[in-house]
Amino acid sequence: MYLYTAQAMREADQRAVAMGYPSLLLMEAAGKQAASRLLQRFEGRAVDVLCGKGNNGGDGLVAARWLAHWGHPVRVYAAEGQTGDAAVARQALLAHGLEIAPLSAWEPAPHSVVLDALFGTGLRGPLEGFYAALVEKVNQSGLPVVAVDLPSGLPHRPHIQADLTVALAGLKNEHLFYPHRAACGRIVLESIGMPPRALHNPHLPEVLCKTSMRPLLPARPGNAHKGLVGRVLVAGGYRSYTGAPSLAALGAYRTGAGLVTVAYPADCVVNPPLEAVRLPLLEWNHADLQAVRAEAVAVGMGAAAGGVRAALAALELGKPTVLDADALHKQVLSAYVKAGLPTVLTPHPGEASRLLEIPSEQIARAPLEAAQALAERYPGLVVVLKGGPTVLAWQPQEAPLSPPLLAVNSSGNPSMATGGMGDVLSGVVAALLAAGLSAWEAARLGVYLHGLAGDLASKPGLLAHEVAEALPSAMRQLQLGGVRDFWEPC
Ligand SMILES: NC(=O)C1=CN([C@@H]2O[C@H](COP(=O)(O)OP(=O)(O)OC[C@H]3O[C@@H](n4cnc5c(N)ncnc54)[C@H](O)[C@@H]3O)[C@@H](O)[C@H]2O)[C@@H](O)CC1
Ligand SMILES: Nc1ncnc2c1ncn2[C@@H]1O[C@H](COP(=O)(O)OP(=O)(O)O)[C@@H](O)[C@H]1O
Ligand SMILES: [K+]
């Protein structure tokens, strides 16, 4: 499944029509589904439907018709001047004997719910004048609001603050990225019958979800032994933060690594899991690391100034590698590009800011663009730009002229914003690399599982090792089909 811009969704709509699928059917499904989702959540309240003059308004007119048809009290307020499908929706509503009042007549009524069908993906620029005032009036009414497709006004200000948003046909950027996502409330995605071929567009970012991630889970053969399922070398640690390599080791073990070795400077106290092999080193050098039996490496966690040396020593092992934290320096990344090894780098916005030399606020505002810029700068390396949500980008070296592949994670939550969470992720991705997944597969599945474990363990005061401990349940639930994507109805 893909993440759409307004333009990409319009193109999908046009493809559906070109394939012979009538657009009126899409509007009918959209309005009917929005009405039924509203009733599911706000049964018993009168519904005020606010309709704009475009197709979002058309969806609202369809919803109003069905609400009335099902016997619910409904008042309709609409702009004048619908055309095309929305005009047909208006006629159909009138044929049911409903009256349409002007939008200017709307006043908040106690115990009602507002269906916001003012503007969707067709909005051009911020709302002003009458519509800006209407949106503010709805927000100030304190009434619950269900938004059709998008809270009206997004991605600009002012915009509707919704309790529920019924996304139509596909998720749009506003449904996944903050601060806009916060305006959507709970999000439910309705397919509205759009032909899958019309939605198909591999140039768009992939949304990581249970359906695409489940097939990537590595199988564990009946005759498995610890040398067969993937061994991981974790290289990191320094005086200041000795928990980092230990958490990476825990993440790797809890993702199914057969054996984890933790290499760290001998003058630092590291307490890896009991099950890990310890390798204290006097200095980061290739010869000592070479002795470790491992199919993948995670390097840089808590390594401070030793990060660059550790990463360059690890490079000579010629293994698939995760570069995190203190390994994330330009000279390291350039050396890994040259080596052409399967490599995943996992910067947070601060580290990406150092690499791209742009402010981290800019990265947080446009994470997909930042991940893409890193992927283009370091072809062949898979970029995992961590955040809420984490985004991924990869420019395959064999296809330098095509745009990078992009993905956005859908799992994870703000309780994961605590120290050590990223260290666990490095171990998870390294374990998947060691199990034989490609860098793009391991990064996508690793990010998804890590977020899913965070969702299962979510609570105030969540600690990174608790997320690691939830990884086995996350994998089992994904395997057995017990996972719910956030846009699925409860
Ligand atoms: N997949 C699809 O493409 C489908 C889309 N549908 C609906 O269609 C919507 C998109 O419809 P439209 O493209 O008609 O666009 P909208 O209905 O979102 O808005 C277009 C209308 O808003 C006006 N407008 C735009 N910017 C404005 C501004 N800043 N201030 C005041 N007025 C402004 C335009 O003049 C136009 O009348 C979707 O969000 C969805 O609700 C559904 O009907 C079914 C299928
Ligand atoms: N609000 C959030 N929503 C989803 N995931 C989050 C959120 N905040 C943090 N995370 C996840 O937690 C991890 C934090 O990583 P990082 O900042 O590197 O932590 P550390 O450096 O302390 O190990 C990332 O995987 C990130 O995606
Ligand atoms: K809307």
Please name the CATH architecture into which domain 3-200 falls. 3-Layer(aba) Sandwich (3.40)
- Ligand 1 in reach of 158 Cβ (< 6 A): no
Backbone angles phi, psi at 465, to 5 degrees: -70, -25
Q: Is 267 annotated as a binding residue?
A: no
Output the residue whose Cα is nearest ligand 1's atom 11.
Answer: 55
| 102-106 contacts, C-beta under 8 A, 24 or more apart | 102/77, 102/78, 103/50, 103/51, 103/77, 103/78, 103/79, 103/130, 103/134, 104/130, 105/77, 106/48, 106/50, 106/77, 106/134, 106/137
Q: Which two tokens stand for residue 201?
A: 């567009």
CATH 3.40.1190.20 domain position(s) in the chain: 210-480
462-to-93, 179, 435, 451, 454 alpha-carbon distances in Å: 50, 23, 28, 13, 8
**Which amino acid would we find at residue 253?**
Y
CATH H-level, domain 210-480: superfamily = Ribokinase (3.40.1190.20)
* Residue from 260, 253, 290, 229 nearest 437 by CA: 229
Check residue 404 and report its DSSP letter. P
CB within 8 A of 344, min separation 6: which ones?
A: 321, 322, 323, 381, 382, 384, 429, 433, 439, 442, 443, 446
Residue 248 to residue 78: CA distance in whole angstroms? 56
Atom of ligand 1 nearest to the CA of 194: 1
Give ipTM to 2 decimals.
0.95
Task: Please give the distance, rounded to the nearest whole angstrom, from the Cα atom of residue 398 to the centre of ligand 1.
Answer: 40
CA distance linking residue 187 with residue 204, whole number of Å: 20
The verdict on the CB of residue 168 being under 6 Å from ligand 1 is: yes
pLDDT for the residue numbered 490: 84
Shortest-distance ligand to the CA of residue 199: 1
Structure tokens at 385: 């730009």
Question: From the CA of 423, how far away is ligand 2's center (Å)?
Answer: 9
Mutate to test the pocket of ligand 1, among 26, 123, 131, 191 (most ligand atoms within 8 A of CB): 123
Separation of first and last alpha carbons in the chain: 20
Q: Where in the chain is the domain with CATH 3.40.50.10260?
A: 3-200
Taking only the tens of pLDDT, the chain with its 490 residues reads 999 999 999 999 999 999 999 999 999 999 999 999 999 999 999 999 999 999 999 999 999 999 999 999 999 999 999 999 999 999 999 999 999 999 999 999 999 999 999 999 999 999 999 999 999 999 999 999 999 999 999 999 999 999 999 999 999 999 999 999 999 999 999 999 999 999 999 999 999 999 999 999 999 989 999 999 999 999 999 986 679 999 999 999 999 999 999 999 998 888 899 999 999 999 999 999 999 999 999 999 999 999 999 999 999 999 999 999 999 999 999 999 999 999 999 999 999 999 999 999 999 999 999 999 999 999 999 999 999 999 999 999 888 888 999 999 999 999 999 999 999 999 999 999 999 999 999 999 999 999 999 999 999 999 999 999 999 999 999 999 999 999 999 8
d(CA 315, CA 305) in angstroms, rounded, equals 17
Strand arrangement, sheet containing 321-323: 206-208, 405-409, 391-394, 382-385, 343-345, 321-323, 296-299, 231-235, 259-265, 277-281
pLDDT of residue 39: 98
Give the distance (Å) from ligand 2 centre to CA of residue 416.
6
Res 450: pLDDT? 99
**Is there a binding annotation on residue 389?**
yes
Q: Which ligand is nearest to the CA of 126?
A: 1
pLDDT at 89: 98
Indicate which atom in ligand 2 lies nearest the CA of residue 390. 27
**Distance, CA of 151 to CA of 139 (rounded, Å):** 11
pLDDT at 453: 99
pLDDT at 241: 67
Secondary structure (3-state) at 289: helix
For ligand 2, whether the C-beta of 367 sits within 6 Å is no
Any known ligand binding at 116?
yes
